[in-house]
Amino acid sequence: LYRELNDNVIINLASEEYSRCVKDYLQENDRMINVVFGEFKNGKLITKATKAKMARGDMIWYMAQNHITDPEDIKKFNEHYYYDAELSDDTHFVFISQE
């Protein structure tokens, strides 16, 4: 479907398990942005599966409600999480829990 849209950016909100299936089909000029939801515990960034799953659903809702077409606009998402520019890069957008 994304090939029909003539767009080379894929926002990956799937779990790691499902993401592995998609990676095999990426082409050289495709850009997959992996969205990571985490929190700090004892100074380490960790991902809690249930909270991350809920956050991915919230982000999908946010993107649909706000008609997000530019990946940069995803960084404005702030539903219990905030975008951390220092931990992020071109292929990973990292969001840290506000709780």
**Highest mean pLDDT pick, 1-10, 23-32, 61-70:** 61-70
Q: How many residues does the chain have?
A: 99
Following CA atoms 59, 64, 67, 70 in sequence, which dihedral angle do they give, to the nearest 10 degrees? 40
Contacting residues for 61 by C-beta, under 8 A, at least 6 apart: none
Domain ranges in the chain?
Answer: 9-97
Contact indicator for 35, 74 with CB cutoff of 8 Å:
yes
pLDDT confidence of residue 28: 84
More confident residue, 72 or 21: 72
Question: Once rounded to an integer, what is the mean pLDDT over residues 2-11?
Answer: 68
Residue 42 has pLDDT above 90, yes or no: yes
Q: What are phi and psi of 64, to 5 degrees?
A: -70, -45
Give the pLDDT confidence of 51-68 residue by residue, as tens digits: 999 999 999 999 999 999
